[in-house]
Amino acid sequence: MIQNKKLRTLTSGLLAGGVLVLSITFLLSPKQDFSENENRYLAKFPSFVWEDVKSGQYMEELSSWLSDHFPLRNFFMGLKADTEIALGKKEINNVYIAEDDYLIEVYETPANTDRIADTFHKFYEKTDTSKVDTRLMLVPTANYILANKLPANAPVISQMDTLKTIYDKSGIPAIDCSAYLTQAAASGQIYYYTDHHWTTYGAYQGYLAYCETKGLVPVSLEDMKAQTVTDEFHGTIYSKVNDYSHKADSITIYTNPADSLTVNYTDTEEITDSLYNLDYIGQKDKYSLFLNNLHTLIEITNETAESDRELVLIKDSYANSMVPFLAHHYKKIYVFDTRYYKHGPSSFIEDHPSVTDVLLLYNMNTLDTDSGIRGIY
Amino acid sequence: MVFSSIPFLFFFLPLCLILYYAVPFSLKNGILLVFSLIFYAWGEPVYILLMLFATLVDYTNGLLMERFGNTKAKRTFFLCCSVVVNLSVLAFFKYADFFIININGLLGTDIPPLGLGLPVGISFFTFQTMSYIIDLYRGEVETEHNYFTYLTYVSMFPQLVAGPIVRFQHINAELHHRTLCRSECEAGLLRFMQGLFKKVLIANQVGALWEELRTIEASQISVTMAWIGAACFTLQLYFDFSAYSDMAIGMGHMLGFHFNENFNYPLSSVSVTDFWRRWHISLSTWFRDYVYIPLGGNRRGVVKQLRNMAVVWFLTGLWHGAAWNFVLWGVYYGILLALEKFVWGKGLAKLPKFMQHLYAILIVVFGFVIFTFDDMGALTTYLSSMFGAAGNPSFGTEVFWYLGNYGVILLVACVLAFPVYPWLKAKLSTAGKSTTTTVSVISMLGFVALFLLATAYLVNDTYNPFLYFRF
**A3–chain B Cβ distance below 8 A for any pair:** yes
- Does residue B320 have an active-site annotation? yes
Q: Which residues have C-beta within 8 Å of that of residue A46, sequence separation ≥ 6?
A: A52, A57, A58, A61, A62, A65
Single pTM value for the model: 0.88
Instruction: Report the Cα–Cα distance between both ends of chain A, in Å, rounded.
Output: 69
When divided into structural domains, chain A yields a total of 2
Q: Is residue A293 part of a domain?
A: yes
**Residue of chain A nearest B406, judged by CA positions:** A89
> A10 lies in which domain range?
5-72
Residues of A within 8 A of B453 (CB-CB) are: 79-80, 83
**Residues 143 through 202 of chain A touching chain B, CB cutoff 8 Å:** 151-155
In Å, how far is B134's CA from the nearest CA of chain A? 34
Q: Which of A7, A76, A93 sits opposite B440 (nearest CB)?
A: A7
Residues A177 and A294 placed together within one structural domain of the fold = yes
Strands A95-97 and A270-272: unpaired
pLDDT tens per residue, range A158-174: 999 999 999 999 999 99
- The answer to whether B248 and B162 are in contact (CB under 8 A) is yes
Residues A282 and A359 placed together within one structural domain of the fold = yes
Q: Is residue A253 part of a domain?
A: yes
Residues A59 and A137 placed together within one structural domain of the fold = no
Residues A15 and A118 placed together within one structural domain of the fold = no
User: Mean of the per-residue pLDDT values for chain A?
Assistant: 92
Give the domain-ending residue among A30, A57, A72: A72
**A272–chain B Cβ distance below 8 A for any pair:** no
pLDDT tens per residue, range A280-298: 999 888 999 999 988 899 9
Q: What angle do CA A220, A221, A227 make, to 5 degrees?
A: 155
Pick from B372, B345, B373: nearest CA to B360: B345
B57-B63-B66-B72 Cα dihedral, nearest 10 degrees: -20
pLDDT tens per residue, range B81-96: 999 999 999 999 999 9
Reported ipTM: 0.89
Q: Which of B145, B176, B258, B320 is catalytic?
A: B320
pLDDT value of residue B471 = 45
Q: Is residue A84 part of a domain?
A: no
Residues A178 and A30 placed together within one structural domain of the fold = no
Strand, coil or helix: A91: strand
Task: Say whether A2 and B456 touch across the interface (CB within 8 A).
Answer: no
> Which of B44, B186, B423, B439 should one mutate to test binding to chain A, selecting the residue with the greatest count of A CBs within 10 A?
B186
How far apart CA B163 and CA B261 sit, in angstroms, is 10
Q: Is residue A16 part of a domain?
A: yes
Q: Is residue A87 part of a domain?
A: no
pLDDT value of residue B166 = 94
Residues A248 and A300 placed together within one structural domain of the fold = yes
Residues of A within 8 A of B189 (CB-CB) are: 12, 15-16
pLDDT value of residue A57 = 86
- The answer to whether B174 and B252 are in contact (CB under 8 A) is no
Residues A161 and A284 placed together within one structural domain of the fold = yes
pLDDT tens per residue, range A335-372: 998 887 777 888 899 999 999 999 999 999 889 988 88
CB burial readout A123-151, b (16+ within 10 A) else e: bbeebeeeebbbbbbbbbbbbbbbbebbb
In Å, how far is A52's CA from the nearest CA of chain B? 10
Give the domain-ending residue among A31, A52, A72: A72
Of B406 and A35, the one with more pLDDT: B406
Residues A107 and A168 placed together within one structural domain of the fold = yes
Residues A151 and A107 placed together within one structural domain of the fold = yes
How far apart CA B61 and CA B157 sit, in angstroms, is 24
Q: Is residue A88 part of a domain?
A: no
Residues A120 and A65 placed together within one structural domain of the fold = no
Residues A132 and A62 placed together within one structural domain of the fold = no
Show pLDDT as tens, one digit a residue, over chain B (471 residues). 889 989 999 999 999 999 999 999 999 999 999 999 999 988 778 899 999 999 999 999 999 999 998 889 999 999 999 999 999 999 999 999 999 999 898 888 888 888 888 888 899 999 999 999 999 999 999 999 999 999 999 999 999 888 799 999 999 999 999 999 999 999 999 999 999 999 999 999 999 999 988 888 777 889 999 999 999 999 999 999 999 999 999 999 999 999 999 999 999 999 999 999 999 999 999 999 999 999 998 898 899 999 999 999 999 999 999 999 999 999 999 999 999 999 999 999 999 999 999 999 999 999 999 999 988 889 999 999 999 888 888 998 889 999 999 999 999 999 999 999 999 988 888 888 888 889 999 999 999 999 999 999 998 875 444 444 444
Q: Is residue A85 part of a domain?
A: no
pLDDT tens per residue, range A230-253: 999 998 888 888 888 889 999 999
Residues A48 and A119 placed together within one structural domain of the fold = no
Task: Say whether A11 and B5 touch across the interface (CB within 8 A).
Answer: no
C-alpha A141: how far from chain center: 11
How far apart CA B457 and CA B205 sit, in angstroms, is 10
Domain boundaries defined on chain B: 6-178, 184-470
- The answer to whether B211 and B462 are in contact (CB under 8 A) is no
pLDDT tens per residue, range A16-27: 999 999 999 999
How far apart CA A28 and CA B207 sit, in angstroms, is 35
In Å, how far is A149's CA from the nearest CA of chain B? 15
pLDDT tens per residue, range A121-149: 999 999 988 899 999 999 999 999 999 99
C-alpha B147: how far from chain center: 27
Mean pLDDT of A220-235: 94
pLDDT value of residue B469 = 43
